[in-house]
Amino acid sequence: MKKILKRQVLALAAGVITATTFSITVFAGSAGASISASDKSASTAVLGNTTGTYRYVVSNGTTSKYSIEGYLYKGKTDASINTQAKKVTVGIGDVYADNITVNKDTYTVAQAKIYGNAKSNKKTGCIAATIISNK
C-alpha cells in the first residue's frame, strides 16, 4: 500500500547520514542518504535483510526545484545489488513511505538511491532524503 504524505518541513533530512564513495554493509538498524541543492544523487550504505521486509522512505523538501526519483534495489550480495524492488517519483514537499517485502533467502541485502529530477536526467536543486530499515 503506497502512502504519500504532504509535509511542510523536511525534518527527515536533518538526521540522515550523507552517503560517501566507499561501500559499507550494515546488518542492523537503518541506512540513509540525502542530497543537498548542489547534489544530483545519493546512495545509502548496503543494508542486510534480517526480517524479509524493509521500511522504505523517500522525502522531497518543500524548497526543491524538481520531483525526485527513488529506487530500492535488492541483491544476494553487496556486489550484486541490481534488482529493482521499488521505484517511486516523489513530488516537491511530499513523502513516500511503505513496507517492501523481499525474499530474505534470495535477497540478503538492499540499497536505496535517490536522484534529483530523474535517474535518466539528474539535476541539482533538490533537497531530499531516503532511509531504509528492517521492519
Average pLDDT, the chain: 84
Task: Give 62-95 pLDDT, tens digit per residue.
Answer: 999 999 999 999 999 989 999 999 999 999 999 9
Task: Give 92-106 pLDDT, tens digit per residue.
Answer: 999 999 999 999 899
CA distance 30 to 66: 26
Local structure of 12: helix, strand or coil: helix
